[in-house]
Amino acid sequence: MVPSATTLLGLVRHITFAERVWFDQDISGRSREEIGLPESVEDSWVLAPEDTIASIQAAHRQACDESRRVAATLDLDTKVRVRTPHPLWTTYLHLLRELAQHCGHAEILREQILAAR
């Protein structure tokens, strides 16, 4: 529906990737390979043949649950030092911006679906 490979399921897959990078990689220090993430942000949008709505939703819920668990013991001013040093509160801010941006993308896809009816 758009020139890129953007799909609703791809959006959820990508925000799951972002959640894991900003919370798991940055706080735990684990590499993307250890977490099971692609190295390229562009690859985070690509759906695998085995991906389903249920599996993508479950992966997103799990990533959010893990983020909450990891961040629960930290103060918002805690310095996260893995990629670029920053206080934890900026992680939340970044992810909120990321979600807002991609909600806009989802809205465009929704409008195109409704217009095609």
CA distance 52 to 110: 19
Task: List the pLDDT tens digit at each of the 117 positions of the chain.
Answer: 677 778 889 999 999 999 999 998 888 888 899 999 998 999 999 999 999 999 999 999 999 999 999 899 999 999 987 778 899 999 999 999 999 999 898 998 888 888 888
Model confidence, pTM: 0.87
Question: If phi over 0 gives left and psi between -120 and 50 gives alpha, with beta otherwise, what is residue 29?
Answer: left
**Cβ-contact 91, 22 below 8 angstroms:** yes
Q: Smallest Cα–Cα separation from 77: which of 92, 66, 63, 67?
A: 92
